[in-house]
Amino acid sequence: MYETSDLAIAAYLMLHDFKLVDAGRLPTGKFRFVFEDPEQKAKSKAVEFISSDCSKFDTHIKNLKKLLY
């Protein structure tokens, strides 16, 4: 299993066909996403996300939201 609290990484993993097995919020308010990861590849995909266009897109979304709030 692979677990992340990052919404963008979770979406990226889903884009790459990782199976989401649980999702929710922790008492702290943070997100929690759990994926099946039988081949132990999710962590490397999460690192791959950082240099992807998806990460750039996510950064721009966050910046635009900051302008509005």
pLDDT in tens, 57-69: 999 999 999 999 8
What pLDDT is recorded for position 17? 97
Among 67, 65, 68, CA closest to 7:
65
pLDDT in tens, 28-43: 999 999 999 999 999 9
CB 37, CB 8: distance < 8 Å: no
What pLDDT is recorded for position 21? 98
Model confidence, pTM: 0.88
Residues in the chain: 69
Confidence of residue 16 (pLDDT cuts 50, 70, 90): very high
The 3-state DSSP class for residue 6 equals coil
